[in-house]
Amino acid sequence: MPTVTFDGPAISDIDIKRTLAREVTVAAAKAYGFPEDKIIVVIKENRPENVSVGGILVADR
Domain ranges of the chain: 3-60
Tell me the pTM: 0.84
In the prediction, which pLDDT does 2 show? 97
Classify 17 as helix, strand or coil.
helix
**pLDDT at res. 48:** 95
Going along the chain, which residue ranges are E strands? 3-9, 40-46, 52-53, 56-57
- Tell whether domain 3-60 is in CATH 3.30.429.10: yes
Cα–Cα distance measured from residue 29 to residue 43, given in angstroms and rounded to the nearest whole number: 17
Read off the DSSP letter of residue 33. T
Instruction: Quote the pLDDT of residue 10.
Output: 94
The pLDDT score that the predictor gives to residue 7 is 96
Please give the pLDDT value at position 31.
98
12-57 pLDDT, tens digit each: 999 999 999 999 999 999 999 999 999 999 999 999 999 999 999 9
